[in-house]
Structure 1
Amino acid sequence: MTPPAIGPEAAAATGTEGPLRIGVIGLGVIAPFFLRAIEEDRHLRLTAGCDLDPVKLAGLPSGVARFTDHRDLLASGLVDAVVVTLPNDLHASVVTDALDSGAHVCCEKPLTVHSADARALAAVAERTGRTLFTAFHRRYNSNVDRLAAELPDRSTIERVVGRYQERIEEHTGNDRWYLDAERCGGGCVIDNGPNALDALRHVLGELTLKDAVIGDVRGGVEFCAELWLTTDDGIPVTVELDWALPTGEVKDITLHLKDGTTVTADMLAGYDGFKSSLDHEYRGIMADFRAAVAAGPSRRDDGPVVVDLVDRAYRVARAKEARLRMPSKTPAEAALVKLLFHRRGDRGMTLSPWFSRCVRAGEVHELVSTTERPSVPGQRVDAVGFLGFAEFGAATVVERGDEVRLGGKLVGVVAGFDECHFPNHYNILIETERLVTAETADLRVGDPVVFREPAS
Structure 2
Amino acid sequence: MKLAIFGAGMIVHDFMKVVHDLPEIELRAILGTETDVPGMKALKEAHGIEMIYTDLAECLADETVDTVYVALPNHLHYHFAKEALLQGKHVICEKPFTLKKSELLALAAIAKEKQLILIEAITNQYLANYQAIKAQLTELGDLKLIECNYSQYSSRYDLFKEGTVLPAFNPKMGGGALMDINIYNIHFVVGLLGTPNAVHYHANIEQGIDTSGVLLLDYDQTKVVCIGAKDSTATIRSTIQGTKGSIIVNGPTNVLDSYAYEALKTPAVTIDRKVNEHRMYEEFKMFQQVIASNDQSFAEDRLAHSQRVMDVVEAALADAQINLG
Query: The TM-score by the shorter chain falls in which range?
Result: 0.7 to 0.9
**Offset of residue 170 of structure 1:** 7.5
For 2:77 and 2:99, locate their aligned partners in 1 and report how far apart those are by CA, in whole Å: 8
Quick one: which of 238, 256, 274 aligns to 2:241?
256
Deviations 1:285-322 (A, max 9, x none): 21121132224322312322212210111011218xxx
Q: Partner of 1:255: helix, strand, or coil?
A: strand
Partner in structure 1 of residue 211 of structure 2: 223
For 2:89 and 2:277, locate their aligned partners in 1 and report how far apart those are by CA, in whole Å: 25
Quick one: which of 189, 193, 200 aligns to 2:182?
193
For 1:167 and 1:212, locate their aligned partners in 2 and report how far apart those are by CA, in whole Å: 23
1:286 matches 2:284? yes
1:29 matches 2:10? yes
Higher gyration radius (CA): 1
Quick one: which of 36, 40, 44 aligns to 2:25?
44
Q: Is contact 2:100-2:314 (8 Å) kept?
A: yes
Tell me the amino acid that sits aligned with residue 297 of structure 1. Answer: Q
Matches within 5 A, 1:396-411: none
Tell me the amino acid that sits aligned with residue 256 of structure 1. Answer: Q
Quick one: which of 40, 43, 64 aligns to 1:60?
43
Aligned CA distance change for structure 1 residues 163 and 209 (closer, same or farther; 3 Å): farther
**Offset of residue 154 of structure 1:** 5.7
1:182 matches 2:160? no
**Offset of residue 123 of structure 1:** 0.8
**Offset of residue 159 of structure 1:** 1.4
Tell me the amino acid that sits aligned with residue 224 of structure 1. Answer: S
Gaps of 5+ in 1: 1-19, 272-276, 320-456
Q: Is contact 2:178-2:213 (8 Å) kept?
A: yes
Aligned CA distance change for structure 1 residues 243 and 143 (closer, same or farther; 3 Å): farther
Partner in structure 1 of residue 228 of structure 2: 241
For 1:241 and 1:143, locate their aligned partners in 2 and report how far apart those are by CA, in whole Å: 22
For 1:78 and 1:283, locate their aligned partners in 2 and report how far apart those are by CA, in whole Å: 23
**Offset of residue 99 of structure 1:** 0.8
**Offset of residue 209 of structure 1:** 5.4
Matches within 5 A, 1:40-439: 40-52=21-33, 53-62=36-45, 63-141=49-127, 143-153=129-139, 155-169=141-155, 176-183=166-173, 185-202=174-191, 204-208=192-196, 210-231=198-219, 234-246=221-233, 250-258=235-243, 262-267=246-251, 280-293=278-291, 294-298=293-297, 299-300=299-300, 301=303, 302-318=305-321
Q: Partner of 1:211: helix, strand, or coil?
A: strand
**Offset of residue 279 of structure 1:** 5.8
**Offset of residue 234 of structure 1:** 4.0
**Offset of residue 213 of structure 1:** 2.6
Aligned CA distance change for structure 1 residues 316 and 192 (closer, same or farther; 3 Å): same
For 1:82 and 1:297, locate their aligned partners in 2 and report how far apart those are by CA, in whole Å: 17
Tell me the amino acid that sits aligned with residue 176 of structure 1. Answer: L
Gaps of 5+ in 2: 158-164, 259-274
Aligned CA distance change for structure 1 residues 287 and 251 (closer, same or farther; 3 Å): farther
**Offset of residue 89 of structure 1:** 1.0
Aligned CA distance change for structure 1 residues 278 and 181 (closer, same or farther; 3 Å): farther
For 1:318 and 1:160, locate their aligned partners in 2 and report how far apart those are by CA, in whole Å: 25
Partner in structure 2 of residue 376 of structure 1: none
Tell me the amino acid that sits aligned with residue 199 of structure 2. Answer: D
For 1:251 and 1:152, locate their aligned partners in 2 and report how far apart those are by CA, in whole Å: 25
Q: Is contact 1:214-1:318 (8 Å) kept?
A: no
Q: Is contact 2:203-2:320 (8 Å) kept?
A: no
Greater CA deviation, 27-36 or 76-85?
A: 27-36
For 2:144 and 2:188, locate their aligned partners in 1 and report how far apart those are by CA, in whole Å: 18
**Offset of residue 193 of structure 1:** 2.7
TM-score (norm 1): 0.58
For 1:26 and 1:104, locate their aligned partners in 2 and report how far apart those are by CA, in whole Å: 16
Aligned CA distance change for structure 1 residues 157 and 244 (closer, same or farther; 3 Å): same
**Offset of residue 29 of structure 1:** 1.3
Q: Is contact 1:214-1:226 (8 Å) kept?
A: yes
TM-score (norm 2): 0.80
Aligned CA distance change for structure 1 residues 263 and 87 (closer, same or farther; 3 Å): same
For 1:130 and 1:200, locate their aligned partners in 2 and report how far apart those are by CA, in whole Å: 28
Q: Is contact 1:26-1:84 (8 Å) kept?
A: yes
Deviations 1:45-101 (A, max 9, x none): 111001111122112234520001222111111211010011111111110111111
Q: Partner of 1:240: helix, strand, or coil?
A: strand
Aligned CA distance change for structure 1 residues 150 and 210 (closer, same or farther; 3 Å): same
**Offset of residue 262 of structure 1:** 3.3
**Offset of residue 164 of structure 1:** 1.5
Q: Partner of 1:160: helix, strand, or coil?
A: strand
**Offset of residue 278 of structure 1:** 9.9
Number of residue pairs matched by the alignment: 287
